[in-house]
Chains A and B, each alone.
Chain A
Amino acid sequence: DTAVSQTPKYLVTQMGNDKSIKCEQNLGHDTMYWYKQDSKKFLKIMFSYNNKELIINETVPNRFSPKSPDKAHLNLHINSLELGDSAVYFCASSQSAGGNEQFFGPGTRLTVL
């Protein structure tokens, strides 16, 4: 059984397009996260939701908009894609906001041409 799943796994698109990445966790966790890992492998947190409420919103362009329809799902919508958005995007979850272990999804490799 997959704990944290993301779709799609690969996404290749043109500059200027709008795209969404979906994330679901079946662990019953309250907290979910989005991370971006760039070409230098630096993993940086973007957003976090706890029970559908936004609790972390790091310095991210407002072209990125997360949405949590319920606590098992956290989707990421990106408007007007730019070349610099190319990266691997990881979704993760933890039992609570202060929970120790984060469980990561397999990642979505986004390439903007």
Chain B
Amino acid sequence: RKEVEQDPGPFNVPEGATVAFNCTYSNSASQSFFWYRQDCRKEPKLLMSVYSSGNEDGRFTAQLNRASQYISLLIRDSKLSDSATYLCVVKSSGGSYIPTFGRGTSLIVHP
């Protein structure tokens, strides 16, 4: 089983739609969780951290479920500019804080 798993998609949605992605992780000792966004042929950029109580940033909501070992990202009112690959990142605890990336979920928002 891969350490961090994501549905690669693509998720093809119309503008204005609500879309949700999940990411599962296998290491129960994982401590930190993030969503990054990567545009085509560009570098990844932090979208948001994921906190235990869940957190929201504008149209984006991130949730963590430790019992089931998954995190989620919800995007409301999708814009064309949201089209990108969304990478789930999990950091393990311990001295080296190894970050593990999922392979990403591709989102295409169409008019």
Contact = CB atoms under 8 A, between A and B. Distances in A.
A97 B96 contact: yes
A106 B43 contact: yes
A104 B89 CA distance: 14
Interface of B: 32, 34, 42-46, 49, 85, 87, 91, 95-101, 103-104
B43 A107 contact: yes
A52 to B, nearest CB: 15
B46 A101 contact: yes
B34 A104 contact: no
Contacts of A106: 42-43
Interface of A: 33, 35, 40-45, 48, 55-56, 58, 90, 97-98, 100-102, 104-107
Contacts, number: 51
The majority secondary structure among interface residues of chain A is: loop
Given A100-B34, A100-B49, A42 B103 contact: yes
Rank and list the top 5 A-B pairs by shortest CB-CB distance, nearest first.
A104-B43, A43-B101, A42-B103, A101-B46, A98-B97
Nearest to A40: B103
B96 A105 contact: no
B96 A48 contact: yes
B59 to A, nearest CB: 20
7 contacts: A33-B99, A43-B103, A45-B100, A48-B96, A56-B96, A102-B44, A104-B43
